[in-house]
Amino acid sequence: MSRAALRPGVARGFYPERVVAREGRGERALRALLGRLARPRTARLARFVRKVEELGAPLRDEADAELAARIEPLRGRLHREGFADHALADCFALVRECARRTLGTPHFDVQLMGGFVLARGAMAEMETGEGKTLTATLPAAAAALAGIPVHVISSNDYLVQRDADAMRPLYAALGLRVGAVTERQKDAAERRAAYACDVTYGTSKQIAFDYLRDGLTRGRGRGGLALQLERLHRAEPRMQHLLLRGLCFAIVDEADSVLIDEARTPLLLAGAGGSSEERRTYLRALRLARSMEEGPHFRLEGRDGRVELTDIGRRHLDELARPLGGPWAGARRREDWVRRALAALHCFQRDRHYLVREDRVEIIDQPTGRRAPDRSWERGLHQLIELKEGCSLTPERETLARISYQQFFRRYLRLAGMTGTAQEAAAELWSVYGLRTTVIPTRLPVQRKRLGARVFATAHEQWEAVIESTCALHARGRPMLIGTASVAASDDLSRRLAERGLEHAVLNARHEAEEAQIVAQAGQPGRITVATNMAGRGTDIRLGPGVAQRGGLHVIATQRGEARRIDRQLFGRCGRQGDPGSCEAILSLDDERVRRSVPTALLRALRRLGSPGRPLRDRVASALTLLPQLADERRSAGLRRNLVELEEYLEDFLAFAGPGD
């Protein structure tokens, strides 16, 4: 393995990973400030591209055998010199020529720039449609040729398999093997073989959980010496059961989604647990919770499942629980159970936070809008929701290991990422992960027209405006993508469109299997697609014949996202690769998040100023729809910051106490 290419990391024995030093809030704030002040050196990028073009020109005339003969000397050079500019330019020139011959698609200049940024261990912001999948092959091939195991991380299993299969001919031409790790692979030997390849594609969840499993396998002897000595006296030493080869180099696609949006919840590796008394306890908690009223007995704090009991509510609960005795006699324990039951009843909504499929409650991942069937809420909340929905009860499981995404990704010796929306989170990406953000220019000028936001007084007027816009553009033959906030909202809009006789497709957590097909057709003339946050992210929407002349794809947002990045992701579906396109937001003051964030008196005053069926012209109305978004951004950033500090505390505590056998 090339140490030169992994200078920033600290390898630990045979299982390389970075030893992360703990930072205080002051140090983290200083890092964030330095990241905000950093400026990309565009001149260096331009010089590098010219060097690659200069080195690549003679390669076009070489035979395949001559090109293949260059690979082995390049391996030795990368192993010795690492990612020095000249060695990297030689490698990129060779990879580019191999891509031209095997894929028919050589890397564009902007992709060379993106690849250079990734090889430097930074974040590349590249617009939708600029070819991030092909861009990743440049640093991935360079690292693999240097002997460094590479993980290319995508946001879902479909993209993992698609990208691995699509790029396999290129890697094969370079003498490299490609593996893919997906949820369908249950056999440990199959997963181990995938990680043994030079380049492995996988989702963050699959790789992180396999890392936790390796941690359990290594146990107390996490160093290499103890495990290697086992080979002398054990028939099946633990080393043979490890899945990964360490955490060397990760390239994260859709990095803001993985490193920011999904980083609010720790990953828990759980085993069987629970007892026969669970069902009775949860049923009692739900019965008690149903006897309580919002206002006099409890208050809902925010939108993340926090419930606060009032003094009246505590006395009411004490009276109801007194005859039950046993564990219900303790005030703290019973209040904790009932608070979770109240959250299950009032904070977590079907078709918004979860789906019910085949007698199972499946969580909907809020940032992506996708199902997370193997994920569960902890501390009994999942079981309470199952009983609320009349589903079979799954036993509460015992936590065997845990890690946050922040903690996991910082353990890679080298980390890089690419996304279309990183600027808003640049400070956090730098302060938490040490990733500087560089904006890569587009290959062609962006022709996307932003039509602003229209805000209506009521939800009924909002949806009527959405339907009217859809009818008008559909009649002109323009395709449309309408973004909704939940499965329930997408189903409701689908019903309204069907009532108007408008044929359309729905893309949400219920229709994941048809995602590729739906997205592939979304740019055809007159096509109407209703989608949640998933919106086929990672898959290009290609315009059908004649669509560009009609104005391209039109995107409508029906609710502000939880972050400005999410709005930009949705709008980025149109106007890709120089195509024309347009986008707008059609919003309502009836939005649940607006009603919770804005005083009722102010909302009533604005509604009185408006005219029925017309959008509110006052800029205040548009600004009010931004308040919940800004509040959500601050709250989510705070949750992620607190999670980092909690994980660091737990790591220090467990290190002091000593791990168990």
CB contact burial 438-457 (16+ within 10 A = b; e otherwise): bbbebbeeebbeeeebbbbb
pTM of the full predicted structure? Answer: 0.85
Residue 109 lies in a domain: yes
pLDDT at 77 > cutoff 60: yes
The Cα 67–Cα 249 span in angstroms is: 26
Tell me: do 295 and 248 sit in the same domain: no
Percent of the chain clearing pLDDT 70 (strictly above): 85
Residue 268 lies in a domain: no
The Cα 364–Cα 512 span in angstroms is: 12
Q: Print the domain residue range for 119.
A: 4-225+234-255+404-435
Lowest model confidence (mean pLDDT) among 53-62, 84-93, 226-235, 236-245: 226-235
Residue 385 lies in a domain: yes
Residue 426: count other Cβ atoms within 10 Å of its Cβ: 21
Tell me: do 420 and 391 sit in the same domain: no
Tens digits of per-residue pLDDT, 555-574?
999 998 888 888 888 898 89
Tell me: do 217 and 306 sit in the same domain: no
Tell me: do 379 and 456 sit in the same domain: no
pLDDT at 449 > cutoff 70: yes
Which whole number is the average pLDDT over 118-128?
Answer: 93
Between the CA of residue 641 and those of 404, 407, 557, 648, what are the distances in Å?
11, 12, 29, 11
Residue 659 lies in a domain: no
Cβ 451 vs Cβ 473: under 8 Å: no
Tell me: do 174 and 52 sit in the same domain: yes
User: How much is the pLDDT for 660?
Assistant: 39
Tens digits of per-residue pLDDT, 131-153?
999 999 999 999 999 999 999 99
Residue 642 lies in a domain: no
Tell me: do 81 and 178 sit in the same domain: yes
The secondary element (H helix, E strand) that includes residue 189 is helix 188-195
Residue 195 lies in a domain: yes
pLDDT at 90 > cutoff 50: yes
Tell me: do 313 and 359 sit in the same domain: yes
Tell me: do 482 and 425 sit in the same domain: no
Tell me: do 141 and 165 sit in the same domain: yes
Which whole number is the average pLDDT over 442-446?
Answer: 92
Residue 293 lies in a domain: yes
Residue 321 lies in a domain: yes
Tell me: do 293 and 174 sit in the same domain: no
Lowest model confidence (mean pLDDT) among 4-18, 444-458, 504-518: 4-18
Cβ neighbours of residue 35 closer than 8 Å, sequence gap 6 or more: 426, 427, 429, 430, 431, 436, 437
Q: How many domains are there within the chain? A: 3
pLDDT band of 10, cuts 50, 70, 90: very low
What CATH number should be reported for the domain holding residue 243? 3.40.50.300
pLDDT band of 513, cuts 50, 70, 90: low
User: How much is the pLDDT for 657?
Assistant: 43
pLDDT band of 255, cuts 50, 70, 90: very high
Cβ neighbours of residue 101 closer than 8 Å, sequence gap 6 or more: 64, 67, 173
Tell me: do 217 and 333 sit in the same domain: no
pLDDT band of 9, cuts 50, 70, 90: very low
Which whole number is the average pLDDT over 6-33?
Answer: 64
User: How much is the pLDDT for 640?
Assistant: 85
pLDDT at 224 > cutoff 70: no
Tell me: do 366 and 423 sit in the same domain: no
User: How much is the pLDDT for 36?
Assistant: 52
pLDDT band of 164, cuts 50, 70, 90: very high
Scanning 103-187, the segments in alpha helix (DSSP H) are 109-119, 132-145, 157-173
